[in-house]
Chain A
Amino acid sequence: MSDQPSDAMTPGKPAPWNDPKIRAIVFQALLVGAVVMFGFYLINNTLYNMEQRGISTGFSFLEKESGFGVTQSLIEYDETHSYGRTFFVGLLNTVLVSVLGIFFATLLGFVMGVARLSKNWLVARVATAYIEIFRNIPLLLQIFFWYFAVGINFPRPRESLALGEVFFLNNRGLFMPRPVTEDGFGLVVAALIIAIVAVFFMVRWAHRRQDATGQPFHTVWASLGLLVGLPLVAFLAAGNPLTWEYPELRGFNFKGGLSVLPELFALTLALTVYTGTFIAETVRAGIQSVSHGQTEAARALGLRESKLLQLIIIPQAMRVIIPPLTSQYLNLTKNSSLAAAIGYPDLVAVFAGTTLNQTGQAVEIIAMTMAVYLSLSLTISLFMNWYNAKMALRER
């Protein structure tokens, strides 16, 4: 064979319409164009038809006064605020119940997942029973149960269960004292921030030192000391800048203090208990995925049991746990929209419910609501992907 391939064999430069790369780009551009045009057509068509049918469109309704009340709001709200404000009221309530749910479900799930593998027969059985029961009952029924059978079945306000005349539990919720900060409390907050920064640097330093010298440092105790001690000193120095506002029975119900509505309680509990089962199974699978050889190897090296869990099992199990855990967090957030069934004022109940009904602007409101769930889900996904990347096997 000669060095110079014959002309007939050289692929040469193909004509642009034959170049697979160019073709691919063109087809993709065409597809994107078609999708955009279709979307545009849909939107236009919708607007036109709604106009024809006399249905109002646009977002100007967001500035109008809402005229309805909401039980629980994390921001200032009353019926003189705008529909736009109801969006944020609902959004924050959704975020609140999701964050609480995720927090407690993770705790419960990890405990139950580990318990299910326990060598103690009773502990393992209890965990199994919990998982099998609550995983197999539809979530909505569980919400109804915690709400109608438990949450609002406590005594009426006048017969409230009281703990030291400070905590009260009745069918309107759990009432507790509310801390009221006074001048000088900023000092305590500042101390806390300083403590957090200090802990951060201390942990880094401890790692370096251990890498260099092999000497471990009790970061946990030191951090705790810093986080509690520093603010405490500041608190005393500022002369107790904190008082408590106690709930008291006035008229129909307790006023003042902090309260947890039975709706929030029941929804959080149901989401926690339900999602906890799935997390428990995920955790169990993760732990079981770490081969027994790893444990034996660690024991052979003479690692203590606690160190074995901390250094060998958990880091490896986490890699298996995190991806499905992310899905559970997403599920929980989306499931929180069942809130409307028991009157918890989440985004779906307040905004996609009452606001939609009062204004009739279904398309705009549903679009906004979908955008919220999409963003919440993407945020959780992004965070968990970041965390996953951090935990992933680092190949050296």
Chain B
Amino acid sequence: MVVPKHGVFTTRENKVYQMKKLLVSAIPALALSIAVGTAQAGETLDAVKAKGFVQCGVSTGLPGFSVADDKGNWGGLDVDVCKAVAAALFGDAGKVKFSPLTAKERFTALQSGEIDMLSRNTTWTLTRDSNLGLNFAGVNYYDGQGFMVSKKLGVKSAMELSGASVCIQAGTTTELNLADYFRANKMEYEPITYDTSDETVKGFEAGRCDVLTSDQSQLYALRIKLSDPNGAMVLPEVISKEPLGPVVRQGDDDWFNIVRWSLNAMLNAEELGVSSKNVDEMKGSSDPNIRRLLGLEGIKGEGLGLADEWAYNIVKQVGNYGEAFERNVGSGSPLKISRGLNALWNNGGIQYAPPIR
């Protein structure tokens, strides 16, 4: 799937767009009413095993999190979670297919079975967890909502934004937080709600709105998509909690466990100092924690119904959490986001995975 660059839509993309629109409205009604059978334990896992790959829902293109390069290869922090699951399940991180989804499309795509898991900067909230028939399998990025403005405006704080026009993307928690924040601070605003992030960025660049608001990580990601990234700045205020993580359908606990523990394995590997570079040497380690992680002793792959080296495969092929972070959004990337909240718990952050034992 090629992502349209800066909104120059060719006729084909235009068709795809319209088709998607159609699907978005037709799928929920049709798919839910006809295709949905009764939820059965193991249903998703069996289907994934049978087809031999994981169908993973990602964004339509958000640098650092899920973005396709010019050859159509997907990369990013969210993409790495999908790859980790494939590595754990098939021993091959390449056995993933990606479905680019806008914010509006994502939950329907998951509910209707079009994708097996969603890893698309999705905020874990009570409504989503309890009303949509979905389960959040963890948090791979702790985020919060922020504001980006053009430097020309001379605004230094979000509290100066009363009366501003604000560009947002439809179907996000962002829409709600924005309303809350302005209401709580007795400020006025004009929300301009676009369907895709490309349009949101274009609206902001053209000056249709004074402010673009989104999760802060995404602001940094979108900023490098601007024609003049230095003309825009991110305001200091963070107005919400946005724990982003992978999501699966309710009803298949085995599949849920695999997704959850694939992420946990990445975190534990970082904590134990096991990385893609040293994982083979680490096999000789005498630390029982490391030996359990690498499937050399303890419960191994049994509980999850996976091969014993499931976590080894993740670390070897995808890397530990820290590696994935630095490569995609941290110092090794154009985004240069610092670990902050996403540092491990013993390193000043709040990333914390239950032990593998």
Contacts and interface: CB of A to CB of B under 8 A. Distances in A.
A156 B207 CA distance: 7
Given A53-B249, A349-B170, A68 B194 contact: no
Interface string B102-146: 011001100100000000000000011011110000000000000
A342 interface: yes
B41 interface: no
Counting chain B CB atoms within 10 Å of each CB, which of A42, A48, A71, A345 scores highest? A71
Size class of B's contact patch?
Answer: 35 or more
A348 B25 contact: yes
B206 A67 contact: no
Contacts of B130: 54
A362 B108 contact: yes
A59 interface: no
7 contacts: A49-B38, A56-B131, A144-B9, A343-B195, A353-B195, A358-B175, A366-B26
Counting chain B CB atoms within 10 Å of each CB, which of A46, A55, A250, A345 scores highest? A55
B176 A358 contact: yes
Nearest to A47: B33
B32 A363 contact: yes
Contacts of B107: 357, 360
Contacts of A343: 192-195, 199, 203
Contact of B175 (A55, A153, A354): A354
A369 interface: yes
Contact of A340 (B153, B195, B208): B195
B298 interface: no
A40 to B, nearest CB: 12
B32 A360 contact: no
B176 A67 contact: yes
Given A49-B37, A53-B36, A359 B176 contact: no
Interface stretch (A105-113, A177-185, A251-259): A251-259
B28 A363 contact: yes
B165 A253 contact: yes
A55 B33 CA distance: 12
Interface string A338-371: 1011110100110011101111101100110110
Contact of A53 (B25, B164, B250): B250
A53 B207 contact: no
Contacts of A46: 32-33, 36
A153 B25 contact: no
Contact of A49 (B29, B32, B153): B32
A253 B163 contact: yes
Contacts of B14: 138, 140-141
Counting chain A CB atoms within 10 Å of each CB, which of B133, B171, B194 scores highest? B133
Nearest to B26: A366
Nearest 4 pairs of A and B residues by beta carbon: A362-B28, A357-B171, A53-B133, A55-B133
Contacts of B38: 48-49, 52
A251 B162 contact: yes
B159 interface: no
Contacts of A45: 33
Given A342-B199, A357-B104, A357-B170, 7 more contacts: A43-B33, A53-B250, A56-B131, A140-B18, A250-B163, A343-B194, A354-B170
Interface stretch (B88-96, B177-185, B238-246, B260-268): B177-185
B17 interface: yes
Nearest to A69: B191
A263 B132 CA distance: 31
B164 to A, nearest CB: 5
Interface in A32-83: 42-43, 45-46, 48-50, 52-56, 67-71, 79-80
A49 B36 contact: yes
A387 interface: no
Contacts of A144: 7, 9
Given A69-B178, A343-B192, A138 B11 contact: yes
Contact of A252 (B17, B133, B163): B163
B330 interface: no
Contacts of A153: 206
Given A52-B39, A55-B133, A341-B199, A141 B9 contact: yes
B27 to A, nearest CB: 8
Interface string A237-271: 00000000000001111010000001100000000
A68 B195 contact: no
A156 B153 CA distance: 11
Nearest to A46: B33
Counting chain A CB atoms within 10 Å of each CB, which of B111, B203, B249 scores highest? B203
A171 interface: yes
Counting chain B CB atoms within 10 Å of each CB, which of A46, A53, A338 scores highest? A53
Nearest to A341: B195
A2 to B, nearest CB: 64
Contacts of A53: 36, 39, 111, 133, 249-251
A152 B209 CA distance: 10
Contacts of B132: 54-55, 360
Contacts of B37: 49
B173 to A, nearest CB: 9
B34 interface: yes
Contacts of B194: 341-343
